[in-house]
Chain A
Amino acid sequence: GIQVEQSPPDLILQEGANSTLRCNFSDSVNNLQWFHQNPWGQLINLFYIPSGTKQNGRLSATTVATERYSLLYISSSQTTDSGVYFCAGDGGSQGNLIFGKGTKLSVKP
């Protein structure tokens, strides 16, 4: 199956700062998605983004499928952005969605 690498593994920001999280895939990937796990453990779908760019408020995501990576941008970060961000995709085995190990983000007031 595909390998999913996320970077950086940990990130500490001051409130108001911007950040970029990266997700690399070992092979062609379909069905690419980004999730946020809040400090209470809930997993929320942020983007379904197999290709192109999407924006939702202060968050945006870009997937370059031909180069097997995706980026998540967080602008003007807030303490509520803290948590772990995961990307996931399947490598041709439809339904076999593989997750990266996540980026743990801490936003300090």
Chain B
Amino acid sequence: NAGVTQTPKFQVLKTGQSMTLQCAQDMNHEYMSWYRQDPGMGLRLIHYSVGAGITDQGEVPNGYNVSRSTTEDFPLRLLSAAPSQTSVYFCASSYGYNSPLHFGNGTRLTVT
């Protein structure tokens, strides 16, 4: 099993550009989530989903959109990138919201 796969590993954007960070899992997990990690801030929840067709906002949702059309995929969209969105983004999944969480290897995003 590949586990949680994030693409790309690195990305550089200019201010105002849009892009989608991809996240896929092959473990048939119902719960998926996106975090951003900034120095000294720990991990902050952006959006999460408890199953296909269901999404909810976390602590820092502004500037990001998500959808969950399939169990396997949970893409994160940046609509108009800003320098404040420079960060490392982690996708995670688990069988349910009350199960051990497994992380992907992260995407390092730089917005200039």
Q: Which residues of A contact B (CB under 8 A)?
A: 1, 30-31, 33, 35, 41-45, 48, 50, 86, 88, 90, 94-102
Contact = CB atoms under 8 A, between A and B. Distances in A.
Contacts, number: 61
A45 B42 contact: no
Question: DSSP class of A's interface residues: helix, strand, loop or mixed?
Answer: strand
A30 B96 CA distance: 13
Interface string B52-90: 000010110000000000000000000000000000101
Given A98-B45, A98-B59, A48 B31 contact: no
Contact of A42 (B33, B50, B97, B103): B103
Contact of B44 (A33, A35, A99): A99
B98 A101 contact: no
A90 B40 CA distance: 21
Interface residues of B, number: 26
> Closest 5 interchain pairs by CB?
A95-B97, A43-B103, A101-B42, A48-B100, A99-B43
A76 B42 CA distance: 26
A33 B97 CA distance: 12
B106 A41 contact: yes
B99 interface: yes
